[in-house]
Structure 1
């Protein structure tokens, strides 16, 4: 198995595409509180590289971990799973 296939991938929703060739992807996850066991919704925002500026706000996308591309960008767009309506 090649090393490229072992990289982390995440599925999330595009919340911003105002930057050139960069999108902000929100990834939601449900986790249990360590003490009280209540399910809490946690959201992480990642900046990802979008080479062709194909994403729009609301799109469901898959991103893959990559080498640092800038100060904040460590992910790149793999594919658009579902276009926003």
Structure 2
């Protein structure tokens, strides 16, 4: 019986895990209450050991339409809000100039 209880605890810890936080630039704010954030990261080539940029776009929910193109923002992983939106705006780090 103790092994079953341990299994339940491990399942609960998976549900309450930490949400990922990413930082990137807003490349589009056209849809209502939505922003498109470009997140760049550096990865190392497995053979040549050279670092190069990899980028990916994420759609995030912006409840008050406060972001503009060029803003540096942090987004947090969230429950699915639509087909492509699984991120929520956490904060604006730096406004576009």
Shared fold per TM-score greater than 0.5: yes
Counterpart among 21, 28, 37 of residue 40 in structure 2: 28
Does 2:82 correspond to 1:79?
A: no
Structure 2 residues not aligned, in runs of 5+: 1-15
Which structure carries more strand by proportion? 1
In structure 2, the partner of 1:50 is 62
Q: In angstroms, what is the RMSD of aligned CA positions? A: 1.1
Which protein is bigger by CA-based radius of gyration? 2
What TM-score do you get using the length of structure 2 for normalisation? 0.81
Which structure carries more helix by proportion? 2
Task: Please give the alpha-carbon distance, in whole angstroms, between the structure 1 residues aligned to 2:80 and 2:86.
Answer: 5
What TM-score do you get using the length of structure 1 for normalisation? 0.92
Structure 1 residues not aligned, in runs of 5+: none
